[in-house]
Amino acid sequence: MTNPLLSTADLPEFAAIRPEHIAPALDVLLPAAEAALEQAVSAAVPADYDALSAVLDVPLERLSRAWGAVNHLNAVANSPELREAYNTNLGRMTEFHTRLGADERLYAKYKALASGPTAAALSPDRRQALAHAVRDFVLSGAELQGDAKARFAAIQERGAELGQRFSDQVLDATDGFVFYANAEQMAGVPADVCLQTHEAAAAAGREGHRLTLQIPVYLPVLQYATDRALREQLYRAYATRASEFGPAAQDNSGLMTELLQLRAEEAALLGQPSYAALSLVPKMAESPAQVTGFLRDLAQRARPFAERDLAELKAFAAEHLGLPDLQAWDQPFAAERLKEARYAFSEQEVKQYFTEPKVLDGLFRIVETLFELRIRPDVAEVWHPSVRFYRIERPGTGDAPPQLVGQFYLDPYARSGKRAGAWMDVVRGRWQRPDGTPLQTPVAHLVCNFASPVGQVDGKDRPALLTHDDVITLFHEFGHGLHHLLTQVDELAVAGISGVEWDAVELPSQFMENFCWEWEALSRLTAHVDTGEPLPRALFDRMVAARNFQTGLQTLRQIELSLVDMRLHAEADAPGRVQALVDEVRAEVAVNPPPAFNRFQHSFSHIFAGGYSAGYYSYKWAEVLSADAFAAFEEQGVFNPEVGQRFRREILEAGGSRPAMDSFRAFRGREPRIDALLRHQGMA
């Protein structure tokens, strides 16, 4: 039998891969990786970059490419058989990589290499890759001995368990609330939500509408229900989930304290002053003080706008909604009404102007103009007939042929068996392989979930219509794709998005989003599906105004969450005074502090059960970087090729080969500033 997962063809054989290929492929690839590890740590292999890379990186990359194809199919072409095969084999992959990441012999080899005589002669890219490898070993406790090592492992295990319990209890507390509303109480709520909650009630053998704290129910009720008492009831339930105000078995108070204590202890074991400091070691931000300084500066600048937003909202609620004492449970309701009164436009109307072919063509032209590239259709085996494949080329000069830069798959439409959302994923990275084969060019997946085309006009298929949000999503993922595909780094571990700091990785993606708010760019993406007319300028202006609606209040809310996260992980006494610390941050930042019973931190899964601990600031951080980068284009012309070339060279091509701050400075000629973000969001 020929197993497509063992194929050494240029690209994955997506059409041929079946669930029954997975286990036999791993039966070959995992032992090969194991053997490579044993050989790499043996005395037979010197502490030499090429020697280690040839022995270890080649089989590891082969394994990761095969598993990458399986993982991808599991996300975009799921079936019960595939899911079962995936889940059965996932543990084998995790087990191997956990062991690899903690192998002390391999760490010793890398250390010997880093401090050995050949280190100085390594290229900067290789030095960076090696530094990352050594750093990651240190952060996973490789330097610890004896009791400290055992304690570190115990903390990891207990931390994972507490994080899981935290998220389980949030889930249980969320699911624990049900309220049956009658038709009168549902006044104002959109018809589809009324229908869906009515059906849920009927399924439970009850009358009326089954209301829960799930976002698709909770949010529209808060935004649209005219019944104030109903809004208050849901708000109270939502804001106190998993807290001391609910069942003791779902109270996260103790878990938060223990998690914060454990994290502080972990940081101390690794010689760091706090968990916040530890979390920042592999990130772009340099210190907790830098992050809190950044957040406080932004808060100060956003504050007047937040005060204005709140004053407007209060005045509108008093005058038009009969709510002279605006409460937390009135705010989403009043905001929706005010937004509607001011900027009403129909998403349906906007959609008619964004046909998929026009949007794609416009996106490709923008990228080609900015970065001096060509994007052309290409041919590859795919997993669904709607999937396309493209190649990006650098035009040849004179008689020279075009040069292949990278290739990408585009899987645009939602369908059953495909995971929701949108993402960029790596098929393979750019790499000058140690086996002497020609340079490996990068390949990426761009996956979206747009509505498929429906219907025909004059015997021809109607194109798919995208919402403006869809267009933004496409540009966002394309930005990630460019970051991965345009790299000129030949070292796999720091090529493209590999090795890029976690809080800088959204720079190119959010950068690309800006074009969707730029008239000169956006107008090129539009042609009415029936008339071919471009988007009217007046409609565009309303879209921009709606985008900036209440950004002052939203910004302060994000800063409040970020400061709470940072201070909880930076201050030694925080585990014992979580609520007091939250109150302090609110007093400092919020223009409209929530009610005293609000316990949002008890369901703040991002930082207690997700990967965002001492990292929540990165949302705002990356927005500042991307807005400031885009401002360089605004200053010198949105399609200025000279600025485009510089962005390509200093940010996109450099990838993870140097610190993101160095790349930013090389592009902008200075450190990032927050002015552009404030201006883009109407706060200047």
- 364: which strand partners? none
Query: Under a CB-based contact definition with an 8 Å cutoff, are residues 623 and 510 in contact?
Result: yes
The contacts of residue 330 (CB under 8 Å, 6+ apart) are 228, 231, 317, 321, 323
Convert residues 592-611 into a mask of x (bound to Zn ion by CB under 5 A) and - (unbound). --------------------
Closest to Zn ion by CB, 243 or 510:
510
**Which residues, including other chains, have CB under 8 Å from residue 312's CB and lie 6 or more apart?**
338
Q: Give the residue with the Cβ less far from Zn ion, 243 or 626.
A: 626
On whether the CB atoms of residues 363 and 354 are closer than 8 A, the answer is: no
**Minimum Å distance from CB 622 to Zn ion?**
9
Identify which range of 97-105, 304-312, 408-416, 504-512 contacts Zn ion by CB under 5 A: 504-512
First-to-last alpha carbon distance for the chain, in angstroms, is 66
**Smaller CB distance to Zn ion: residue 242 or 497?**
497
Residue position matching structure tokens 């290739």: 407
The residue type of 569 is: H
Closest approach of Cβ 475 to Zn ion, in Å? 11
| 650 in catalytic set | no
Nearest distance, CB of residue 589 and Zn ion, angstroms: 26
Number of residues that bind Zn ion (CB under 5 A): 1
Name the minimum Å distance from CB 43 to Zn ion: 44
Task: Give whichever of 508 and 672 is closer to Zn ion, judged by the CB atom.
Answer: 508
Q: By CB under 5 A, is residue 509 in contact with Zn ion? A: yes
Are 417 and 435 a contacting pair, CB within 8 Å? no
For 268, 347, 584, 666, the CA distances from 196, given in Å and listed in that order, are 51, 22, 41, 53
Site for Zn ion in 116-135 (CB under 5 A): none
Min. distance of Cβ 526 from Zn ion in angstroms?
24
Smallest gap from residue 477 Cβ to Zn ion (A): 7
Give me the least distance between CB of 9 and Zn ion, in Å please: 30
Choices 283-291, 503-511, 630-638, 672-680; region in contact with Zn ion by CB under 5 A: 503-511
Residue nearest to Zn ion (CB): 509
Nearest to 28 by CA among 51, 61, 54, 59: 59
Query: What letters, b where the CB count within 10 A reaches 16 and e where it falls short, cover 252-277?
Result: bbebbeebbebbbbbbebbebebbbb
Query: One symbol per residue from 196 to 235: x for binding Zn ion (CB under 5 A), - otherwise; what is it?
Result: ----------------------------------------
Could you count the other beta carbons within 10 Å of the beta carbon of residue 5? 22
CA–CA gap between residue 282 and residue 494 (Å, rounded): 13
> CB-wise, 141 or 442, nearer to Zn ion?
442
- Provide the pairing of β-strand 403-413 with 443-450: parallel
Site string for Zn ion, 356-375 (x = CB under 5 A): --------------------
Residues 6+ apart with CB under 8 A from 229: none
Q: Assign residue 437 a region: left if phi > 0, alpha if psi is -120 to 50, beta otherwise? A: beta
CB of residue 18 to Zn ion, shortest distance in Å: 31
Tell me the angle at which helices 331-343 and 537-547 cross, rounded to the nearest 10 degrees: 160
Return the number of the residue (599 or 680) whose C-beta is nearest Zn ion: 680
Residues 6+ apart with CB under 8 A from 676: 624, 627, 628, 630, 631, 634
Q: CB 469 → Zn ion: shortest distance, Å? A: 14
550 binds Zn ion (CB under 5 A): no
| Catalytic annotation, pick one of 393, 477, 560, 653 | 477
Determine if 626 is a binding residue for Zn ion (CB under 5 A): no
Distance of alpha carbon 47 from alpha carbon 270, whole angstroms: 26
Work out how close the CB of 656 gets to Zn ion at its nearest, in angstroms, rounded to a whole number.
Answer: 16
CA distances from 631 to 91, 232, 486, 643, 675 (A): 46, 42, 22, 11, 9
CB of 441 to Zn ion, least distance (A): 23
Which string of b and e fits 443-462 if b means at least 16 CB within 10 Å? Answer: bbbbbbbbeebeeeeeeeee
Nearest CB to Zn ion, comparing residues 107 and 475: 475
In angstroms, give the least distance from the CB of 519 to Zn ion.
24
Q: Which is nearer to Zn ion, 320 or 419 (CB)?
A: 419
Residue type, 98: T
The overall longest dimension of the chain from CA atoms, in Å, is 82
**Interacting span for Zn ion (CB under 5 A) from 144-152, 156-164, 199-207, 509-517:** 509-517
Q: Count Cα neighbours of 531 within 13 Å in the Cβ-side half-sphere.
A: 7
Tokens describing residue 497: 């998005």
Q: Find out whether 493 and 56 touch, Cβ atoms under 8 Å.
A: no
Which structure tokens are listed for 603? Answer: 């369901």
Measured CA to CA, the distance from residue 684 to residue 671 in angstroms comes to 20
Which secondary-structure segment (H or E) carries 507?
helix 507-513
Spatial distance between the Cα atoms of 317 and 326, rounded to a whole number of angstroms:
7
H/E stretch holding 543: helix 537-547
User: Which amino acid appears at position 619 of this protein?
Assistant: Y
Query: Residue 334 or residue 629: which is nearer to Zn ion going by CB?
Result: 629
Query: Which is nearer to Zn ion, 486 or 589 (by Cβ)?
Result: 486
Q: Which stretch binds Zn ion (CB under 5 A): 52-60, 201-209, 225-233, 501-509?
A: 501-509
| Residue nearer to Zn ion on the CB measure, 222 or 504 | 504
Stretch that binds Zn ion, among 133-141, 372-380, 414-422, 502-510 (CB under 5 A): 502-510
Stretch that binds Zn ion, among 361-369, 448-456, 508-516, 609-617 (CB under 5 A): 508-516
Nearer to Zn ion, 372 or 469 (CB): 469
CA pseudo-torsion sign 474, 479, 484, 486? positive
Q: Which residue ranges make up the site for Zn ion (CB under 5 A)?
A: 509
Residues taking part in catalysis: 477
